[in-house]
Amino acid sequence: MAQDWNRTALLVIDMQRDFIEDEAPLLVKGGKDIVPNVIKAVEVARHRGLHIVWVVREHDPLGRDVELFRRHLYTAGRVGPTSKGSAGAELVDGLVIREGDYKLVKTRFSAFFATHLHSVLQGAGINSLVITGVQTPNCIRQTVFDAVELDYQSVTVIADATAAATPDIHLGADPGEGNPWPGPSPPHFDDFHGIIITQLCLIRKQIS
């Protein structure tokens, strides 16, 4: 059965200056390397008619909606990371929100936590997700787990269009991190591109 791309959404998570650029306050070291593949994934998604959701952090400048462990970064007279309206909250160069895309603001790891993402996707008839962005053990993994719990039919993470602080953490090879993924290993961009072109089934993430 061919994949129905009109019922699939590409999520681009936290590809913002304060996470990606050199010397960024919340730098994800592997983030800069994946920018070209995230750009390509967006291009392929547009070509195939996938819905595109830009998931970003935009915090209150005083940090009132930030996780407790990050509130020390938000003080009077100082612009905290990804504060709403700040340069650091902008997408990195090469990634552009276009008319018809959807921008979702989150304040925690999961794109589903305390947001209306699920209702937006349901309203658009979306039942499958493809996920890119940063960082793998936190926002990517938590979003994947929540999507599985919400019964999305397939959830695909593109291995080389997602990143973490180190390759071991990203791929779950660090014994201290454990394996972050249920089921098959995530595909690489070339695999994703092949999936799009040949309309093969996406990786299924099933709850046992």
Higher-pLDDT residue of 198, 9:
9
* Domains, the chain, with CATH or none: 5-198 (3.40.50.850)
Query: Does the bond joining 135 to the residue before it have cis omega, within 30 degrees of 0?
Result: yes
pLDDT band with cut points at 50, 70 and 90 for residue 97: very high
Higher-pLDDT residue of 113, 70:
113
The pLDDT score that the predictor gives to residue 2 is 52
Mean pLDDT of the chain: 84
Query: Are the C-beta atoms of residues 39 and 160 closer than 8 Å to each other?
Result: no
The pLDDT score that the predictor gives to residue 42 is 96
What share of the chain has pLDDT > 70, as a percent? 81
pTM: 0.83
Coil/strand/helix, residue 83: strand
The label of the residue with tokens 């008319």 reads: 99
The pLDDT score that the predictor gives to residue 195 is 45
- Please write the tens of the pLDDT for every residue from 41-60: 999 999 999 999 999 999 99
Nearest-angstrom CA–CA distance, 152 and 14? 21
Structure tokens at 145: 């787990």
